[in-house]
Amino acid sequence: MGNKIIGIFLLFVIACNSQHETATVSEKNGVTTIRIDPKTSRDSKLTEFFEDEITYLLLKENDEKDSQIGEIDTIIEYKDEIYILDWWIGKCIQVFDKEGNFKRKIRNYGDGVGMYTELADFQIQRDTIYVLAHPSKIMKYSINGEYINEVKIPVLARRFRFDPKHEQFFIYSGSNAEKLVTSVDHNGSIVDEYFSTHSDVFYGNMGDRVNFYPIDNTFYFTRSYSDTLYQFSNNKFIPLFIYDFGSFGLKHDELLEKQRELDPRSFKSYFDENAGISYSPFGFSNSKYIFSRLSFSDIGIVSIYDKVNKTHDLVNFDIINDIDESFNFYPPIYQLENDRVAVAYRGPTLYNKAVAKKQTMSDDDWKAYQEGKGKDFIEAAFYAKETENYVLMILKTKK
C-alpha cells in the first residue's frame, strides 16, 4: 500500500513538472508553439470571447473642421481621452473625450523643426505623446498637444515602440531593411540592431499595421509573413509564441523564385493562389488573448490564443454577433484600456447596416428589436447617419 502511495505521488509530481501541452498548444522552455491547420477553422460567436455587451461611441463632429476624422489608423485610450491617428488624410492626431466630444487636434504639418510632412505612428507614455514622423524624426508633445522637442533618427521608420524601462525607441524599418529593428536613444544615436534579413527568406512588402504589442512592462514584436512573436527581455528579443503552419506554411524558395520571374501584379496573383497560410499583424494582445489575423488564399482566419487557460481557437471571419444581433463583423483591432477593444465604422456605414437589418424583419419584429436588444445599435446608427465620423463598437474581453 505504501509503495502504491509513493508511486501515485511520483506520478503527480511528474505531471505537475511536465510542460503544458494540448492538441494544438505545447510549451517548452518558456516558448509556446501553436499548431495551425486552416482546415479546422470554425464559425464562432462574440460571447465565446467577449462580455455580453456592446457599447456604441460616436466620435462626434461639431462646427469645427478639426473634428472631422479622415481615416483611422491607430486609437489610443489614455486616462479620460481617446486619441486618433489619421496619418493618411488629415495627417494629425485628434483627441475626443469618453463621451465622444471633440477636444483638440495636434497638427504641425510642414517643413522644418517642430513640423512634419508625414505621420507613421504614435504612442503615449507618462503624459508624453511620442509621434513617429517624416522626415526621419520622433516628435514629443505634452498631453495637451504642446510641442516639446524632436529626435532625429538615422534609419527609415515605419512603426515604433518607446520602451520607458530602457528609455529607448525601438523602430521597425520594414521588410527591405538590412536590420528589421533598430533601437535608438533620446539623442537619436543607435543603441543596437536586431533581426538581420536573409536572402533565402521571403519577407514580402506588406504594410504592417501593428508590429509592437504592449504587454505588462515590456512588448512583443512581429511582422507579416513571420511565424513568431518575440518578447523583448534582458536586452534581447526572445521567441515567445511560434505559429507552426506545417505543410500549409510559406514555401520561401518558390516565392523568391517567382518574385524574381514575375511582374508585381502577376506575382500578387500567384501569391494569393499558391503562397499558403501567412501571418498578418492585425489584431490585439491584452491580459487574456492574442487575436491575430491569418490569411490562407482568399480565406480570412482568426487565431485566438487564450493566455490564461493556454488554449487556442481558429475561427472564421466574420464572428457571429450573438450579443445584439446587429450584424456580424471582423475581429476588433483597436486595443483600449482595461481589456476593452473596438471596431470602427463610419456613421453612414453603420446606418446602412441598420437599414439592411430592418429589411429582413417584419414591422412587429423590428419594433420589438428596436425597443429591446437592438436599442443601442439603432440609436447609434440613426444618430450617426449624417456624419462622416466614426462610431466605435466597444467590447470587453472575458476574464
pLDDT tens-digit series, residues 317-329: 999 999 999 999 9
Residue 124 clears pLDDT 70, i.e. is over it: yes
Asked if residues 350 and 381 have their Cβ atoms less than 8 Å apart, the reply is yes
pLDDT value at 314 more than 50: yes
Question: The C-alpha cell of 299 is what?
Answer: 480565406
Q: Which letter, b or e, does each residue of 145-175 get, where b requires 16 or more Cβ atoms within 10 Å of its Cβ?
A: eebeebbebebebbbbbbbeeeebbbbbbbb
Tens digit of each residue's pLDDT (9 = 90 or more) over 150-196: 999 999 999 999 999 999 999 999 988 999 999 999 999 999 999 99
Block residue for cell numbers 481558429: 314
pLDDT at 19: 54
Residue 5: pLDDT above 60?
no
Give the pLDDT confidence score for residue 383 in this predicted structure.
94
Would you call 184 exposed, middle or buried from its count of C-beta atoms within 10 A (0-12, 13-18, 19+)?
buried
User: In the chain, what are the domain boundaries?
Assistant: 32-48+72-335
Please state whether the peptide bond connecting residue 38 to the residue before it is cis, i.e. omega within 30 degrees of 0: no
Q: Is the model's pLDDT at 10 over the cut of 70? A: no
Dig out the grid coordinates for 377 from the structure: 445599435
Q: What is the pLDDT of residue 73?
A: 94
pLDDT at 7: 40
pLDDT at 300: 83
pLDDT at 16: 41
Query: What does the pLDDT average to over 80-89?
Result: 94
Name the amino acid, one letter, at 96. Answer: F
pLDDT value, residue 18:
41
Angle (nearest 5°) at CA 43 between 42 and 46: 130
Residue 3's pLDDT band, with cuts at 50, 70 and 90, is: very low
Q: How many residues does the chain have?
A: 399
**CA–CA separation, 384 and 241 (whole Å):** 40
Query: What is the residue-averaged pLDDT of the chain?
Result: 91
pLDDT of residue 106: 96
φ and ψ of 108, to 5 deg: -120, 55
Please give the model's pTM, rounded to 2 decimal places: 0.91
Distance CA 185, CA 70 (A): 32
Give the pLDDT confidence of 244-277 residue by residue, as tens digits.
999 999 999 999 999 999 999 999 899 888 888 9
Torsion (CA) 237, 239, 240, 242 in degrees, nearest 10: 150
**Cα(85)–Cα(131) distance, rounded to whole angstroms?**
10
Please count the other Cβ atoms lying within 10 Å of the Cβ belonging to residue 356.
11
Pick the CATH number of 32-48+72-335 from 1.10.10.10, 3.30.390.50, 2.40.70.10, 2.40.128.630: 2.40.128.630
pLDDT digits (tens, 9 = 90+) for 361-376: 999 999 999 999 999 9
pLDDT at 6: 39
**Residue 99 in grid coordinates:** 463621451
pLDDT tens, residue by residue, 324-354: 999 999 999 999 999 999 999 999 999 999 9
Residue 4 pLDDT exceeds 80: no
